[in-house]
Amino acid sequence: HDQLQSKPSTTPNDKELPPATASGDRMNATFVTLARNQDIWEIAKSIRHVEDRFNRKFNYDWVFLNDDDFNDEFKKVTSALVSGKTKYGKIPKEHWSYPEWIDQNKAAKVREDMKQKKIIYGDSVSYRHMCRYESGFFFRHPLMLDYEWYWRVEPSIDLYCDINYDTFKFMADNKKKYSFVLSLYEYVETIPTLWDAAKNFTKHYPQHIAKDNSMKFLSDDNGETYTNCHFWSNFEIGNLNWLRSDAYIDFFTSLDHAGGFFYERWGDAPVHSIAAGLMLAKDEIHFFNDIAYYHVPFTHCPTGEQYRLDHKCHCNPKDNFDWNGYSCTSRFYEMNGMQKPVGFEKEQ
C-alpha cells in the first residue's frame, strides 16, 4: 500500500478493476505453448492478443512447456499476462532425444544435405525434436493430463477479431475433435516418404481408419499419392483424448519407427493433418472462419465484411490466404460440400 500512496493521486488504481468474464460453465481446457526462455517477448505479444480478443472473457489456463527450465522472468511476465492459471513444465529427456533405433550418423548426413539444398530448418536438430514432440508427446505431458481440450499458441501470432463465444464449448457441442484456420501445401522435400509411412500404417491398422474420412483432402487418387495438403498446426484447437487414443498413439509410434522425423524433416502439421484426415470422420474437423489469425507469413482474415465490422476485426481482407492457389481450404470446402462465404471470389 505504501507504493500506491506514493503514486500521484490522478493515477487510478486499475489493478483492482474487476476481470471481464463471461458467465456460464467452463470447459476442461487449456492453452498450450511450447517455448524457450528467449521467446518471452514474442509469446508475450501472442498472449496479449489471445487475452484481448478471447481469454479475458473466459480465463482459461495456460500451460507452457520447454525442453529446458523456464527462468523466473519468463514465468513472471507470462503469469502476469494470462487471466487464467499458468503452469510451467519441463519436457522429460526421453521425449526430446533420439530414439534408440535412429542412426544418428545417417541423420547428420541428411542435415548436411538439406543445408546444401537450403531447405528451411533442414540443418536443425532442435527443430526436428520440436516437430516430433508436437507430433507425439505434448498431449501426454503430466500437466496436460488434467485437460480434455487444448488451444495451441505460438510466439508472434496475431488475432484480429473479437471471439465472443467459447470455442472449446463449440468444439464439444458440435462433436469436433480437430480444427484449423489456415491450410496449405507442404514442401515435399521435407516429407518425401511420409505418405508411404501413412499407407504402411493404414495397412497394419485398418481398424483405426474412419469410414467417412477426409481422404479427398489428402489424396486425389484415392490414397495412392498425397496432395501435400495440411492444416497449419501453429494454430490448433483440439481434443486431447483423441490424441491420447490408441488410434493416434499407434499412428505416431508407427511413423516414429519409420524414422522420418530425423531422416527427413517431418513437420507436426502434416502428421496431425494426416492423422485427422484418416482417423476422424470428416465432420469432426472444423474450419474456424471466424478466428482471424496471423503467423508469419500467412493471414486468415474472415471473408465477409459484416462479420469483420461486427467483431472489430483489424486485418486487411486483401491479405486473406484462404482462396489463394496455395491454400487447401477450397479443397476442404468442396470435400465437405460447404458453401463458400459470400464475397470469396473477390478475394481469389
Q: Which residues are part of the catalytic machinery?
A: 236
Q: Pick the piece of the chain touching ligand GDP (CB under 6 A) from 125-133, 206-214, 297-305, 328-336.
A: 125-133
Cell of 105: 550418423
Q: CA torsion angle for 223, 227, 232, 238 (degrees, to 10)?
A: -20
By rule CB under 5 A, what string of x and - marks binding of each residue 148-177 to Mn ion?
------x-----------------------
> Rule CB under 6 A: is residue 34 a binding residue for ligand GDP?
yes
Are 323 and 348 contacting, i.e. CB atoms less than 8 angstroms apart?
Answer: yes
In the numeric block, the cell 499419392 is attached to 225
Decide whether 148 or 154 has the Cβ nearer to Mn ion. 154
Element (H, E) at 169: helix 167-173
* Per-residue cell: 187: 514442401
- Name the grid cell of 39: 521467446
Distance between CA atoms of residues 133 and 261, nearest Å: 10
Residues 224-243, one symbol each (x = binds Mn ion by CB under 5 A, - = not), give ----------x---------
Amino acid at 235: F
Per rule CB under 5 A, is residue 45 in the interface with Mn ion? Answer: no
* Per-residue burial over 128-139, b = 16 or more CB atoms within 10 Å of its CB, e = otherwise: bbbbbbbbbbbb
Burial call 73-96: b when 16+ CB within 10 Å, e when fewer: ebbeebeebbbbebbbbebeeebb
Tell whether residue 234 is a contact of ligand GDP (CB under 6 A). Answer: yes
> Does 130 help bind ligand GDP (rule: CB under 6 A)?
yes
Nearer to ligand GDP, 130 or 255 (CB): 130
Q: Whole-number minimum distance, CB 266 to ligand GDP, in Å?
A: 12
For residues 190 to 229, the per-residue mask of contacts with ligand GDP, x marking binding by CB under 6 A and - elsewhere, is ----------------------------------------
Least Å from the CB of residue 246 to Mn ion: 30
- Residue placing its CB nearer to ligand GDP in the complex, 67 or 250: 67
- Going by C-alpha positions, the residue among 311, 314, 309 that lies closest to residue 163 is 311
Among 148, 147, 135, 139, residue whose Cα is nearest residue 251: 135
Contacts of 310 (CB under 8 A, 6+ apart): none
Nearest residue (beta carbon) to Mn ion: 154
Residue with smaller CB distance to Mn ion, 219 or 234: 234
* Residue 50 found at the interface with ligand GDP (CB under 6 A): no
Residue 214's binding partner, choosing from ligand GDP, Mn ion, none, with beta-carbon cut-off 5 to 8 A by kind?
none
CA distance 137 to 253: 11
Question: Judged by CB under 6 A, does residue 39 bind ligand GDP?
Answer: yes
At residue 64, what is the residue type?
Answer: F
Window 289-318: contact mask with ligand GDP (x via CB under 6 A) = ------------------------------
With a CB cutoff of 8 Å and minimum separation 6, the contacts of 26 are 58, 59, 60, 166
Ranked by CB distance to ligand GDP, the top (closest) residue is 126
For residue 299, report the phi and psi dihedrals to the nearest 5 degrees.
Answer: -120, 135
Of 30-38, 70-78, 197-205, 208-216, which part binds ligand GDP (CB under 6 A)?
A: 30-38
Q: Contact letters (x/-) for ligand GDP, 65-104, by CB under 6 A?
A: -xx-------------------------------------
Residue numbers at the binding site for Mn ion (CB under 5 A): 154, 234
Residue numbers at the binding site for ligand GDP (CB under 6 A): 33-36, 39, 66-67, 126-127, 130, 154-155, 234
